[in-house]
Amino acid sequence: MQWKIDELGVSGNEGASLEFYLRHTAQDSGTKKVNQSITYSDTEGNAVTFPDPSVTVDCGVVITPEPCPVPINFTADGCEDFLTVDLGDTYLESTGRIVELSVTIKNVCPNRRTALGIILTETDCSGKEHTRGIKAITVPAHSSSGCRDILVKCIRFVLPDNLSITCSSGTGMCGARNLKARVIAHNIDSEYNCCGTIRPV
């Protein structure tokens, strides 16, 4: 951008202001400098100090797990109506497993909700565990006349292959993964009410 003024401050103190609009074309957030560079010159050789304005850009959180593939160039020559091209190797993208667990909570009293927690870990070659997920579930109360078992089904965990620490041969879906699940369960509701201060929700 170039801005020229014929005369400024000839008969007295004068000023000039320039207003312009910006469009953010990058993909990242943060503090952005408005001016990459700025220069000033006049016939009298004056020097001017300009501020260094910036704007804060918030693009939100955007994740692109699968970038666009790199193109493979080839040419179909003139008058060539058939050609054979070997595009080389390609690999499966965003592979992983979905683990679906079920658990039976034993001897649950009637009219009491249950808090159920599932902790999933993966074991590496040295036996060290790494977290892979946690689920906290409220199991509704049942109204049977006595205690009964409750089956909780379809508790799902997602295991992307980029987190795999397999010790077996093969990578990605071809390797075995050693997993552990821990279960925690306890009653939410209780008949105990300390001096009437507890309100059931």
Total number of domains in the chain: 1
Domain-located, residue 102: yes
Residue 71 belongs to a domain = no
Predicted confidence (pLDDT) per residue in 86-100, tens digit:
999 998 999 999 999
Q: Is residue 103 part of a domain?
A: yes
8 Å CB contact between 159 and 95: no
For the chain, the distance separating the N- and C-terminal CA atoms, rounded to the nearest angstrom, is 64
Residue 39 maps to a domain? no
Q: How far apart are CA 110 and CA 46, in angstroms?
A: 88
**What pLDDT score was predicted for residue 48?**
80
Strands (E), 59-113: 96-108
Asked, for residue 148, whether it belongs to a domain, the answer is: yes
Quote the domain boundaries for residue 110.
Answer: 96-187
Q: What is the pLDDT of residue 10?
A: 64
Does residue 176 belong to any structural domain of this protein?
yes
pLDDT digits (tens, 9 = 90+) for 35-77: 878 888 888 787 888 888 888 888 777 788 888 899 999 999 9
Q: Can you give the pTM of this predicted structure?
A: 0.66
37 domain-assigned: no
Question: Which one, of 97, 113, 108, 114, lies nearest residue 176 by Cα?
Answer: 97
Is 51 a domain residue? no
Q: Which residue numbers in the chain have pLDDT < 70?
A: 9-12, 200
Task: Give the E-state strand segments of 69-188 in sequence order.
Answer: 96-108, 114-123, 129-139, 148-160, 179-187
CA 128 → CA 115, 122, 140, 166, 177, distances in Å? 28, 8, 35, 12, 13
